[in-house]
Structure 1
Amino acid sequence: MRFLPVFLDLKAGPVVLIGSGELLRAKLRVLAAAGARLRVHAIDGNRDLAGLADDVAAGVVFSDGDPLTADLAGIIAIVCAGAGDIGVAMSARAKSLGLPVNVMDDLEHSSFIFPAIVDRGEVVVAIGTGGSSPVVARRVREKIEALLPARIGELAEFIGGFRKSIHARLPEFQLRRRFWERVIDGPIGALVLAGRKTEAEAALDRISDATAFARADKPEGSVALVGAGPGDPDLLTIKALRALQDADLVLYDELVSPEILDRIRRDTARIAVGRRVGKPGIGQDAINRLMIEAVQSGQRVVRLKGGDPFVFGRGGEEVEALRAAGIAYSIVPGITAAIGGAAAFEVPLTFRQEALRITFLTAHKAHDAETVDWSTLTDTKATVVVYMGMTAAPSVRAGLLAAGRSPETPVGVFARVTRPDAQAAIGTLGELPELIARIEGGPAILIIGDVVRHAGAISQNPKQITTQIISDLLEAAA
């Protein structure tokens, strides 16, 4: 390790920045945004501070003098970017004065280098490759950014606000460390990471015996209601992936794809609890009991639901049950099937001057469809999305036609959206049952409205088009 990672206190004094062009502008933006007071020697005469917030720009002072003879008293570091020969000369001067210096892309004349940075407020991660490959450092940074919760800095700040009071209550270092480990890994930390800081503060304040809390053997459980999206594992959110990796138990719906289940940690227990048409599942009350009992035994539970938990996913019912039981929980939204299907088949659910609103319906049984007030869905400038509508398709068509919707209204049936075997059939409302017959099984959504006309041509029936292309190639080869 040639370069020791250190953190420079930018409040200790100003930084001298020397150079020109976009290289200077880039370093100026990075240093100013970090809160540095800058004394800038712009060799090219460009003093543009456009794009910097006023409070950030206030810390930038341009100097007209020669940087090689400028007074460096009180300076804490020197940075050269696009400075040419002046950078080399400035490096010699800085080293003679014992000042840290960085000459961009010049290891020989630098006593420190800039790492790739992950900035989460109070939590900062620096990644370096000894200057040998900044691109590799950036790639590592991208991986770390994907792993770190967005509010990890807020969690550090939260803990900092309580450190003195907990130190006074727990003078023993080992107990204090165990206390904070339980806070970070338990429901209080989860509340902060979910943006519920006030609730986290109240929970921490309720710990009357800090010693007993730190010494408790029984871990604290929690529930994460996680949206698995429509099927493609690459559409899982980073937060959802973290929850799956942290879980002790995953209760998953029938519609969650095997590829997404593969993202669960290998030693995590899994229970299928969902239902589909003809498969009733274990029932909502039983699911609620499983979650509560698992949490009470100290387990971290993920309730993994297809699409989004709050779009026809009974997430609201489960939250109410968890609240009533006093269980800590968090909610991780997922991409609902309507959004996933619209993107996969290039159907804009809204379109200027053409589709101004969207209605989501669920009609997984025919008698459910028959109870819908279809008269509210006759607006031609509205898009209607029907979830679980394959069985109810005849009733959907009958209801809309009876209410006055034109039989020529464009309709798309989109099955297994975002999955490799996704399939679509596009036609009109009058043809809806026939369109359903062309689909080789669900789950599927129906999109009804003029926006369906904008569906991508190749995505209207990818399997049929692929077969046609192969047939054409074989015919040409013959």
Structure 2
Amino acid sequence: MRFLPIFLDLRSGPVALVGGGDLVRAKLRLLLAAGARIRWYATDGDNVVTGIDAADAESIEHGEGDPLSADLSGVIAVLCAGAGDLGAAMSARAKALGLPVNVMDDLAHSTFIFPAIVDRGDVVVAIGTGGASPVVARRIRERIEAVLPARIGDLARFIGGFRKSIHGRIAEFPLRRRFWERIVDGPIGALVLAGRSDEAEAALNNIADPSGFAGAQAGRAEGRVTLVGAGPGDPDLLTVKALRALQDADIIFYDELVSHDVLDRARRDAARVPVGRRVGKPGIGQEAINQLLIKAAKTGQRVVRLKGGDPFIFGRGGEEIEALRDAGIAYSVIPGITAGLGAAAESEVPLTFRGEALRITFLTAHKAKDAEAVDWSALTDEKMTVVVYMGMTAAPAIRAGLLAAGRSPQTPVGVFARATRPDSQAVTGALEQLPDLVDAIDGGPAILIIGDVVAHSAAWRQANLDSMLSSFQVAAE
């Protein structure tokens, strides 16, 4: 994040606006919409603006003389639009005075930039791309405009009018936040969004017990635990329900394999506690994790147990809900895209294929002894795809087990590391090469996929293409 998004009170002092033509007039109208007082230095001598009312016109002061030598005392920011070469010189002066400055379409001489804006009165959404692509920002704005209720600003203003009184009636912050969530998501919020604020105000005033309305038990909010599947790493693969749970959480206990990008989708002020472990590294243990979940829920917190992939596929989610059930803690489960499916989709591996792959087996093999305990004779069917989690260390034992059971050494296999993440990597080959394929990747976590369907993958096709090109080159030489 190169630019920190902030909201500047333009009523706190004049803004110096330098430039001419349509560009400066567009910027002037934007500033007026935010209630700014503007000192405008029209570089082309034309300071006529059409289409504004008298009140806005009174907010514009026409600066006289050269802006490079003008008195800028009291000015809170400097903006240049359609100012030509004067923009760079004005930027240098503003920086020397410690004033924030924006020169339109000139990042090098700007200390702040203008985002694309969705304006709903008291609700303002700013979208920025660091100045790299205003078109992308506008496209995002269009999508937000399409889903954001027209009266969402009215709802924010409505809540603002009651915040102080409700604060005095509900002392506990988590319970107070839950009260407002019920207002926003319930019938009262719907009345405001429908333009019936008077009815909404009457309904809110009729709530005799705000704490009870928020769901208090003995003066304390009821805690609960939500097991959330974080998916294989790409935050865009989170479900809508998962995002909502992350935004509602008071505390998040997360696995080591959960990506930072996924954690960034959580509420900013939610506590975050790492509890997972990687293979070969010590962890706090499953029983300790269970007790942390129970303790947090008993204090009235909304707890998210964030697990890589899906909670019920090699994620010990079943053990955790049994512990929660025995302790009388309310819980729910939000599934996630398991790593095997994420790897298959990213690399175009159809785990099933008509007439070719009719069955799938998911298994885990942390260590060689885990692989030795597998009944490989049940996995020799050529029409079965085998998906192995955490199988990097045990790759030699996995190969040995399958070959000894009768699976062909030429069975296509793939190693798919860090699937769906920016640094994902895929290598493919034959079963007899499996340990070498694992060695070829730059670290895990990785999914192993074994079966003829791997030959349909993008990595397999690319490897064959590279081999053909290499053969042509040798022949040419």
TM range (shorter): 0.5 to 0.7
Partner Cα separation in structure 1 for residue 375 and residue 459 of structure 2: 33
| CA-CA distance at 1:173 after TM superposition | 3.5
Q: How does 1:433-452 map to 2 (within 5 A)?
A: 433-452=435-454
The equivalent residue for 1:332 is 334
| CA-CA distance at 1:174 after TM superposition | 3.1
TM-score, normalised by the number of residues in structure 2:
0.55
Match among 388, 410, 414 for residue 386 of structure 1: 388
The equivalent residue for 1:175 is 208
Q: Work out whether residues 409 and 450 of structure 1, in 8 Å CA contact, stay in contact via their aligned partners in 2.
A: yes
Q: Work out whether residues 390 and 445 of structure 2, in 8 Å CA contact, stay in contact via their aligned partners in 1.
A: yes
The equivalent residue for 2:319 is 317
Q: 1:295 to 1:460 in 2, by over 3 A?
A: farther
Cα deviation 1:29-58 (Å, max 9, x = unaligned):
xxxxxxxxxxxxxxxxxxxxxxxxxxxxxx
The equivalent residue for 1:283 is 285
The equivalent residue for 2:307 is 305
Q: How does 1:64-463 map to 2 (within 5 A)?
A: 139-142=144-147, 173-182=206-215, 213=217, 216-457=218-459
| CA-CA distance at 1:379 after TM superposition | 0.5
| CA-CA distance at 1:181 after TM superposition | 2.4
| CA-CA distance at 1:251 after TM superposition | 0.4
Cα deviation 1:92-136 (Å, max 9, x = unaligned):
xxxxxxxxxxxxxxxxxxxxxxxxxxxxxxxxxxxxxxxxxxx98
Q: 1:443 to 1:371 in 2, by over 3 A?
A: same
| CA-CA distance at 1:310 after TM superposition | 0.2
Q: 1:142 to 1:459 in 2, by over 3 A?
A: farther
3-state SS of 2:427 partner: strand
Partner Cα separation in structure 2 for residue 331 and residue 225 of structure 1: 5
Partner Cα separation in structure 2 for residue 137 and residue 368 of structure 1: 52
Structure 2 spans left out of the alignment, 5+ residues = 1-139, 150-181, 188-204, 470-477
Partner Cα separation in structure 1 for residue 459 and residue 435 of structure 2: 22
Equivalent residue letter for 1:173? N
Partner Cα separation in structure 2 for residue 403 and residue 458 of structure 1: 25
The equivalent residue for 2:129 is none
Cα deviation 1:263-319 (Å, max 9, x = unaligned):
121211111100111112100000000000001111111000000000000000000
Partner Cα separation in structure 2 for residue 375 and residue 266 of structure 1: 50
Q: 1:428 to 1:283 in 2, by over 3 A?
A: same
The equivalent residue for 2:195 is none
Q: Work out whether residues 426 and 460 of structure 1, in 8 Å CA contact, stay in contact via their aligned partners in 2.
A: no
Equivalent residue letter for 1:275? R
| CA-CA distance at 1:258 after TM superposition | 1.0
3-state SS of 1:355 partner: coil
Q: Work out whether residues 349 and 453 of structure 2, in 8 Å CA contact, stay in contact via their aligned partners in 1.
A: yes
Q: Work out whether residues 378 and 403 of structure 1, in 8 Å CA contact, stay in contact via their aligned partners in 2.
A: yes
Q: Work out whether residues 388 and 447 of structure 2, in 8 Å CA contact, stay in contact via their aligned partners in 1.
A: yes
Equivalent residue letter for 1:333? P
Q: What RMSD over aligned residues (CA atoms) do the two structures have, in Å?
A: 3.3
Q: 1:277 to 1:137 in 2, by over 3 A?
A: closer
Equivalent residue letter for 1:293? K
Equivalent residue letter for 1:273? V
Structure 1 spans left out of the alignment, 5+ residues = 1-134, 145-151, 158-171, 184-212, 469-478
| CA-CA distance at 1:460 after TM superposition | 5.5
3-state SS of 1:346 partner: coil
Q: Work out whether residues 429 and 460 of structure 2, in 8 Å CA contact, stay in contact via their aligned partners in 1.
A: no
Cα deviation 1:121-177 (Å, max 9, x = unaligned):
xxxxxxxxxxxxxx9897545467xxxxxxx9xx979xxxxxxxxxxxxxx933355
| CA-CA distance at 1:254 after TM superposition | 0.4
Equivalent residue letter for 2:213? W
3-state SS of 1:175 partner: coil
Cα deviation 1:407-457 (Å, max 9, x = unaligned):
000000000000000001100000001101101100001000000000015
User: What is the percent sequence identity of the aligned residues?
Assistant: 68
Q: Work out whether residues 425 and 460 of structure 1, in 8 Å CA contact, stay in contact via their aligned partners in 2.
A: no
Equivalent residue letter for 1:291? L
| CA-CA distance at 1:179 after TM superposition | 2.6
My pick for the range that moved more, 216-225 or 359-368, is 216-225
Q: Work out whether residues 415 and 424 of structure 1, in 8 Å CA contact, stay in contact via their aligned partners in 2.
A: yes
Q: Work out whether residues 416 and 444 of structure 1, in 8 Å CA contact, stay in contact via their aligned partners in 2.
A: yes
The equivalent residue for 2:113 is none
Partner Cα separation in structure 2 for residue 448 and residue 276 of structure 1: 24
Partner Cα separation in structure 2 for residue 453 and residue 288 of structure 1: 42
